[in-house]
A and B are shown apart, each in its own frame.
Chain A
Amino acid sequence: MMVINLIGLALIALIVWWFWLYKPSKAVDSSVESITIVVNDGVYQPSRIKVAAGKKTTLQFFRKDGSPCAATVLFPDVEISEELPLEVNKSVELPPMSSGEYPFHCPMKMYTGTLIVE
């Protein structure tokens, strides 16, 4: 029983670490490589994207997931919401932004991504 309880507690610790404490550091730099953000199976891929500060940016999205939730991407900080047609390249233009991290997500926040402006 002791072992089971310990396994249980370890599991809880693992959940806390994996979903909350772990901070991903990897981000794709859009100025180095041209990227297309694929929207499928509940995630944006890649989901952390570096862009240059103070410049207009264009992001390419490609949606494969048919669910209605995935059909819109929001950048709440710059008041942008764009429809992403299924299986069509869609470019989303973003205004120049100052340095910082900006989230983007679907209306329900099930799909989430981060824009790292620097």
Chain B
Amino acid sequence: MNKLTGKLDNPPANKSTQELIIEGAGCASCVGKIELALKSIPDVDNAEMNFALRTVSVTGQVGAERLIKTIEAIGYNAKSANETSDNELLDEKEIVDQKYYSSLMRQMWIALGLGVPLMIYSIAGGPMTVDTTLERGIWLFIGLLCAAIMYFAGKHFYVGAWKSFINHTANMDTLIALGTGTAWIYSMVVVFFPMALPEMARHVYFEATAMIIGLINLGLALEVKARGRTSDAIKRLIGLQAKTARVVRDKKEIDIAIEQVLLNDIVRVRPGEKIPVDGLVTQGHTSIDESMLTGEPMPVEKVEGDEIVAGTLNKSGSILFKATRVGKDTALAQIINMVKRAQNSKPPIGRLADIISAYFVPVIMITAVVSALVWLNFGPDPALAFAVVSATTVLIIACPCALGLATPMSVMVGVGKAAEAGVLIRNGEALQTASKITAMILDKTGTITEGAPKVTDVLIVDNNYTEEYILTVASSIESGSEHPLAQAIVESTIEKGLEPENVTDFHAIAGHGVEAIFKGQKLLFGNLKLMLKYGVALKDFVAQAQQLATEAKTPMYLAIDNKLAAIIAVSDPIKNDSIAAIKRLQANGIRVIMLTGDNIATANAVAKKVGITEVFAEVLPEDKANKVAELQAQGEIVGMTGDGINDAPALALANVGFAIGTGTDVAIESADITLMRGSLHGLADAIAVSKATLRNIKQNLFGAFIYNVAGVPFAAGVLYPFFGLLLNPVIAGAAMAFSSLTVVSNANRLRFFKPQDH
């Protein structure tokens, strides 16, 4: 038992001790109740609850399910603590892979131990024929040795082939078993009944059997190693999860396993530690590095009330926070889940390979039979030997694995690569379609712009006032208003450390602005119409205000005692990398269109700034989807980018919907592709990764097709009549072993893909 985490280090196989995590046990009196309920189950020997850890360990011959039901019946929730976490699963997987690798390597050495000397003997010109009794004796011994090797080093092929045969399916094992089996059986026939065969056909192929088994085991072993690397990205994500958390229980801070953190627990995180679960800061302030999830390099400041997410790194301060999402509900757990699911889903391009795979093995078996028949009927002497060699070679060289691996391996790496860049791709189909996008609609507010209007300019007209004073006055008058622009002014003022004060006689004048009394001064704050209404002299400041409007800013006039004092401009600033990211999209030949509910003037001004020429302005939220349909009707493959909330119908209708997350507050389920950080570079990255992945898949599929299409006829001997060339079965075995390795290695190349610098 590990005292620190309260978890069993090595749960016994028969699990006579069950560890449960209890939720909802708020008081010490619950302990007795829970223990009593559990002990009343006839098969339970003992139940002891650790209140601080909220765990109960139960001994007895009873399953976890029954225990959980009992606890639920008395009003608590429980879950098994013995469930394997992702981290443990990953460790275990690595151990399993390593074991599998070692066993394959051992089998390879056994098989090559016999195969290589025989091969050398044969290449050196040693007779492989059976003529004398002595030769029969020696070859019989070698044949039996070969049988032992087939058993010890190749049993898995034969068992697998047999099992799938009785299930009416065929796979790679079938081909290897048939190929090596044919060579061995023929050789044994030669040894036992040489006289039944023409003299020239009395040739043994034991070396082929042993070599093929050895080489294919080697290929599989190397493939296991290479495959391990394709899941690097998911490993990194899983590795972000903290293993323990420090929670405050009964006024004491204790370290517990992450699985035992409950909803609403208060958790302590010190500088340099990972955030263990999602939550809201309740005490302290700090800066948090979220780059591992969002790809955003700048640490984010967090104060009381701010949301923090599991897996990110606390940089500077010590904080307390309340757990709001734990276990499988944390954003990180959901991301991991989604990436895993997407990594195993197949883009449409892989479907053809799937269909071919389904017919592949039987077709190869038929090809082998046909090839043998052709050699027997039309081949030169020794026709029988040629028939056996060609059939064996056809069976061995065909590689259904390369075809089957081509798509999944690349998707695995590509989706993982995207996740590293903060781009979550929902499935293989989204991945493929993203690579073909021809038009991209960008929502303005929150996508191209920050989505939070700010004061951009304070133009002082009356030099009797300072900027601070103007802002204080403006925010004081606006603090009663709920208009977003008013809020922008109030927030900007507070950010500068200034406090709004009280105003009296506040009146809102619809469509104009507001008026109020502040420290005996009469204030007017609003648009041009308001100033004209009260006859405020504007002189040439109207032109300056108009200039601000063409810069996509909204100008507001402030008059004090009927004299113009200042012009304050508010705008929703464009994200600082939007321009560069839009350029990247356009450089890819994508038609970029801006969509907004704003008025045409502001929309055009923003579009001009970011280099977009096509604008859909004054679009009502419900019409956004129609605009997507319009473009689709023009034959475009449309990507739609929005914040995922009011854009949902448009995102759903688009060929690929991109939801843009701000920070880590992502609507993971809402779109085909989710961008974890606010930057539009994520879009260009997503498209670049999907293009690279699709290219990789095509290379793999092409390679696998060509390999089989060229290799099988060559093995059958189509070149023999012209060039006298017939493939050696051992070379076929080597080619087959390395063809699937090539596919995996090519997919691995994607790991080094980097989206363009930005």
Interface residues of A (CB under 8 A from B): 1, 4-5, 8, 11-12, 15-16, 18-20, 22, 24, 40-43, 45, 47, 66-68, 71-72, 74, 76, 79-81, 83, 85-86, 88, 107-110, 112
- B369 adjacent to A12 (CB under 8 Å): yes
Closest to B354 in A: A109
Closest to A42 in B: B160
- B89 adjacent to A85 (CB under 8 Å): yes
Which of B100, B224, B343, B365 contacts A15 (CB under 8 A)? B365
Chain B residue contacts of A11, Cβ below 8 A: 369
Which of B100, B167, B400 contacts A43 (CB under 8 A)? B167
Question: Nearest 6 CB-CB pairs, A to B?
Answer: A108-B404, A81-B344, A42-B160, A66-B100, A19-B362, A107-B408
Measured between alpha carbons, how far is A76 from B427 in the docked complex, in Å?
A: 11
Closest to A23 in B: B168
For B164, B370, B400, B401, the residue with the greatest tally of chain A CB atoms inside 10 Å of its CB is B164
- A79 adjacent to B341 (CB under 8 Å): yes
Closest to B376 in A: A4
Measured between alpha carbons, how far is A11 from B178 in the docked complex, in Å?
A: 13
Chain A residue contacts of B357, Cβ below 8 A: 108-109
Main secondary structure of the interface of A (DSSP, over half): mixed
A41-B159, A74-B344, A76-B346 are known contacts. Are A68 and B224 too (CB-CB below 8 A)? yes
For A1, A42, A47, A85, the residue with the greatest tally of chain B CB atoms inside 10 Å of its CB is A42
A15-B365, A16-B366, A109-B354 are known contacts. Are A67 and B100 too (CB-CB below 8 A)? yes
Segment at the interface with A among B16-24, B169-177, B684-692: B169-177
Measured between alpha carbons, how far is A91 from B283 in the docked complex, in Å?
A: 41
- A47 adjacent to B362 (CB under 8 Å): no
Measured between alpha carbons, how far is A93 from B92 in the docked complex, in Å?
A: 22
- B377 adjacent to A79 (CB under 8 Å): no
Instruction: Write 28 A-B pairs (CB below 8 A) sorted by A numbering.
Output: A15-B362, A16-B362, A18-B168, A19-B170, A20-B359, A41-B156, A41-B159, A42-B161, A42-B164, A42-B169, A47-B167, A66-B99, A68-B97, A68-B100, A68-B223, A68-B227, A71-B96, A74-B344, A79-B341, A80-B341, A81-B344, A81-B345, A85-B92, A86-B96, A88-B84, A107-B408, A108-B404, A110-B400
B405 interfacial contact with A, CB 8 Å: yes
Measured between alpha carbons, how far is A1 from B96 in the docked complex, in Å?
A: 51
- B404 adjacent to A110 (CB under 8 Å): yes
For B161, B165, B369, B377, the residue with the greatest tally of chain A CB atoms inside 10 Å of its CB is B369
Closest to B169 in A: A112
Chain A residue contacts of B427, Cβ below 8 A: 79
Chain B residue contacts of A24, Cβ below 8 A: 167-168
Measured between alpha carbons, how far is A1 from B378 in the docked complex, in Å?
A: 11
- A79 adjacent to B345 (CB under 8 Å): yes
Chain A residue contacts of B161, Cβ below 8 A: 42
Closest to A90 in B: B84
- A8 adjacent to B373 (CB under 8 Å): yes
CB distance from B433 to the nearest CB of A (A): 16
Interface size, B (range): 35 or more
Measured between alpha carbons, how far is A67 from B173 in the docked complex, in Å?
A: 12
- A4 adjacent to B373 (CB under 8 Å): yes
Which of A41, A79, A109 contacts B160 (CB under 8 A)? A41
- B169 adjacent to A19 (CB under 8 Å): yes
Measured between alpha carbons, how far is A43 from B343 in the docked complex, in Å?
A: 23
- B366 adjacent to A12 (CB under 8 Å): yes
- B370 adjacent to A12 (CB under 8 Å): yes
B93 interfacial contact with A, CB 8 Å: yes
Closest to A20 in B: B362
Measured between alpha carbons, how far is A11 from B220 in the docked complex, in Å?
A: 30
Inter-chain pairs besides A76-B346, A110-B171, 7 sampled, C-beta below 8 Å: A42-B169, A45-B163, A66-B97, A67-B220, A79-B427, A81-B343, A83-B340
CB distance from A72 to the nearest CB of B (A): 6
Which of B84, B164, B372 contacts A85 (CB under 8 A)? B84
B197 interfacial contact with A, CB 8 Å: no
B74 interfacial contact with A, CB 8 Å: no
Chain A residue contacts of B401, Cβ below 8 A: 108, 110
CB distance from B217 to the nearest CB of A (A): 12
Measured between alpha carbons, how far is A47 from B166 in the docked complex, in Å?
A: 12
- A43 adjacent to B89 (CB under 8 Å): no
- B362 adjacent to A41 (CB under 8 Å): no
- B345 adjacent to A86 (CB under 8 Å): no
Closest to A71 in B: B93
B521 interfacial contact with A, CB 8 Å: no
B41 interfacial contact with A, CB 8 Å: no
- A81 adjacent to B341 (CB under 8 Å): yes
A4-B376, A81-B340 are known contacts. Are A76 and B345 too (CB-CB below 8 A)? yes
Q: Digitize B380-422: 1 where CB-to-A-CB distance is under 8 Å, 0 elsewhere.
A: 0000000000000000000011001100100000000000000
Measured between alpha carbons, how far is A43 from B172 in the docked complex, in Å?
A: 12
- B372 adjacent to A83 (CB under 8 Å): no
Chain A residue contacts of B173, Cβ below 8 A: 41-42
Chain A residue contacts of B171, Cβ below 8 A: 42, 110
B544 interfacial contact with A, CB 8 Å: no
Closest to B405 in A: A108
Measured between alpha carbons, how far is A38 from B400 in the docked complex, in Å?
A: 23
CB distance from B46 to the nearest CB of A (A): 25
Chain B residue contacts of A16, Cβ below 8 A: 362, 366
Chain B residue contacts of A1, Cβ below 8 A: 376-377
CB distance from B213 to the nearest CB of A (A): 16
Chain A residue contacts of B97, Cβ below 8 A: 66, 68
Measured between alpha carbons, how far is A107 from B365 in the docked complex, in Å?
A: 23
Measured between alpha carbons, how far is A111 from B376 in the docked complex, in Å?
A: 35
CB distance from A29 to the nearest CB of B (A): 18
Which of B361, B369, B404 contacts A8 (CB under 8 A)? B369
CB distance from A24 to the nearest CB of B (A): 6
Measured between alpha carbons, how far is A1 from B374 in the docked complex, in Å?
A: 11
Which of B84, B163, B344, B370 contacts A41 (CB under 8 A)? B163
B103 interfacial contact with A, CB 8 Å: yes
CB distance from B700 to the nearest CB of A (A): 13
Chain A residue contacts of B537, Cβ below 8 A: none
Measured between alpha carbons, how far is A21 from B377 in the docked complex, in Å?
A: 29
Measured between alpha carbons, how far is A5 from B378 in the docked complex, in Å?
A: 12
CB distance from B741 to the nearest CB of A (A): 13
Closest to A87 in B: B96
B358 interfacial contact with A, CB 8 Å: yes
Chain B residue contacts of A83, Cβ below 8 A: 89, 93, 340
Chain A residue contacts of B169, Cβ below 8 A: 19, 42-43, 112
Chain B residue contacts of A15, Cβ below 8 A: 362, 365-366, 369
